[in-house]
Amino acid sequence: MFKPRTINAVFLLPCSLAVSLACYANPLEGDQLKPLEVASTVQANNTQVSNEQATVKNTFVTFSAYQVDEALLNVITSMSTYCREVELGKDELQCGPYSDAEWKTVEPLIAELTDHQYQTRKGLNSTSLPNLALDEGKLNEVNPYVAPMTSELVTIAQQQSEQGNIRAYQEQVPSRLVAAGVSETEDWLSEAFGGAQFDLGVSLAKGSKWQVDQVESLFPFWQADNKSLWFIQAGAVFNQDDFHGRDFSHIGTGYRQLAEDEYYGVNTFIDYDHQRYHRRMSLGFEYGVGYGNMSSNFYFPLSNWKDSPDEYEGMNSLVEKPAKGWDLTLESYLPMDTRWKVSGTAGQYLGRYVEHRDGSNPTKNPLRFELNTEFKPTKELAFSLGYQNEEGASEQWIAGVNYTLSLGGFYEPERREVFQSSLPKQDRLTDFVERDHNIVLEYKQKYAEISIRLPESVVVAENSQQSLAEWMEVKGGPDIVSYTWLGTANPYLNSQSASVPLFTAPSYRYDGNNTLSLKVRYKLKSGQVKESNTMSITITDSKFLESISFEPETATAGESIVASALLSKAVADIPVTYQITAEDLTSLTLNGETLELESNQANFVYQTVTNEEGIAELVLLSHVAQSVTVTAIYDQNEQDAKQGNIEWLKGSVYRVDLFHEGHHLDEDLFTTEAITAYVFEDEAAVLDLSQYSFQWFRREHDTQNEFTKVANANQQKYVLKGEDQGFQFKVQVTKKKSSDSKSATNNK
Measure CA 352 to chain center: 27
pTM here is 0.43
Are the CB atoms for 396 and 357 separated by under 8 Å? yes
How far is it, in rounded angstroms, from Cα 516 to Cα 468?
A: 14
Q: How many CB atoms lie under 10 A from the CB of residue 298?
A: 13
Q: How many CB atoms lie under 10 A from the CB of residue 514?
A: 17
Q: Picking from 62-66, 218-222, 240-244, 355-359, which range would have the lowest pLDDT averaged per residue?
A: 62-66
Q: What is the DSSP string of 583-645?
A: S-GGGEEETTEEP---TT--EEEEEEE--TTSEEEEEEEESS-EEEEEEEEETT-GGG-EEEE
SS (H, E, C) 192-238: HHCCCEEEEEEEEECCCCCEEEEEEEEEEEEEECCCEEEEEEEEEEC
Residue 240 pLDDT > 90, yes or no? no
β-partners of residue 259 are 262
- Provide, rounded to the nearest whole percent, the portion of the chain with pLDDT above 70: 74
**What average pLDDT does the segment 488-515 reach?**
90
Fold of 197-444: Porin (2.40.160)
Residue in 70, 83, 88 with CA at minimum distance from that of residue 414? 70
Are the CB atoms for 559 and 550 separated by under 8 Å? no
How far is it, in rounded angstroms, from Cα 496 to Cα 490?
A: 7
Backbone angles phi, psi at 620, to 5 degrees: -115, 140
Instruction: Map out the domains of the chain as residue ranges.
Output: 6-42+51-193, 197-444, 447-540, 545-649, 654-747
How far is it, in rounded angstroms, from Cα 447 to Cα 466?
A: 27
**What average pLDDT does the segment 307-313 reach?**
87
Interior/surface letters 199-214, b for 16+ CB within 10 angstroms, e for the rest: bbbebbbeeeeeeebb
How far is it, in rounded angstroms, from Cα 53 to Cα 61?
A: 22
Residue 483 pLDDT > 90, yes or no? yes
pLDDT band at 291 (very low <50, low <70, confident <90, very high): confident
In this predicted structure, what is the pLDDT of residue 513? 87
Residue 606 pLDDT > 70, yes or no? yes
In this chain, the answer to whether the domains covering 197-444 and 545-649 adopt an identical fold is no
Q: Picking from 15-29, 82-96, 353-367, 568-582, which range would have the lowest pLDDT averaged per residue?
A: 15-29
What does DSSP say about strands 396-406 and 381-390: parallel, antiparallel, or unpaired?
antiparallel
What 3-state DSSP class applies to 633? strand
Q: Which residue has the higher pLDDT, 379 or 636?
A: 636
Q: Which amino acid is at 349?
A: Y
pLDDT band at 423 (very low <50, low <70, confident <90, very high): low
CA dihedral 392→393→396→400, nearest 10 degrees, is: -110
pLDDT band at 729 (very low <50, low <70, confident <90, very high): confident
Report the chain's mean pLDDT, rounded to a whole number.
Answer: 78
Interior/surface letters 723-733, b for 16+ CB within 10 angstroms, e for the rest: ebeebbbbbbb
Are the CB atoms for 580 and 588 separated by under 8 Å? yes
Residue 514 pLDDT > 50, yes or no? yes
How far is it, in rounded angstroms, from Cα 37 to Cα 172?
A: 18
Residue 27 pLDDT > 60, yes or no? no
How far is it, in rounded angstroms, from Cα 557 to Cα 699?
A: 32
**What average pLDDT does the segment 416-425 reach?**
45
Are the CB atoms for 301 and 323 separated by under 8 Å? yes
Instruction: Please give the span between the terminal C-alpha atoms of the chain, in angstroms, as a whole number.
Output: 136
Looking at 3.40.109.10, 2.30.40.10, 2.60.40.10, 1.10.1580.10, the CATH number of the domain 447-540 comes to 2.60.40.10
In this predicted structure, what is the pLDDT of residue 10? 29
Q: Which residue has the higher pLDDT, 183 or 622?
A: 622
**What average pLDDT does the segment 515-537 reach?**
90
How far is it, in rounded angstroms, from Cα 31 to Cα 608?
A: 131
In this predicted structure, what is the pLDDT of residue 597? 84
Are the CB atoms for 315 and 478 separated by under 8 Å? yes
Top-level class of domain 545-649: mainly beta
Backbone angles phi, psi at 190, to 5 degrees: -65, -40
Angle at 677 between CA 672 and CA 682, to 5 degrees: 165
Q: Which residue has the higher pLDDT, 586 or 176?
A: 586
Beta strands in 376-432 (DSSP E): 381-390, 396-406
Residue 178 pLDDT > 70, yes or no? no
What 3-state DSSP class applies to 188? helix
pLDDT band at 347 (very low <50, low <70, confident <90, very high): very high
In this predicted structure, what is the pLDDT of residue 175? 55
In this predicted structure, what is the pLDDT of residue 92? 82
Are the CB atoms for 436 and 298 separated by under 8 Å? no
How far is it, in rounded angstroms, from Cα 582 to Cα 155?
A: 136
What 3-state DSSP class applies to 246? coil
β-partners of residue 676 are 659, 717
Are the CB atoms for 632 and 565 separated by under 8 Å? yes
Q: Picking from 143-147, 235-239, 327-331, 603-607, which range would have the lowest pLDDT averaged per residue?
A: 143-147
DSSP label of 511: T
In this predicted structure, what is the pLDDT of residue 174? 60
Residue 605 pLDDT > 70, yes or no? yes
Q: Which amino acid is at 457?
A: S
**Hey, CA dihedral for 18, 20, 23, 25, is it positive or negative?**
negative
How far is it, in rounded angstroms, from Cα 546 to Cα 548?
A: 7
Fold of 654-747: Immunoglobulin-like (2.60.40)
Are the CB atoms for 622 and 648 separated by under 8 Å? yes
- Counting DSSP H helices and E strands in the chain, the numbers are 7, 48
**What average pLDDT does the segment 202-229 reach?**
73
Backbone angles phi, psi at 169, to 5 degrees: -60, -45
pLDDT band at 237 (very low <50, low <70, confident <90, very high): very high
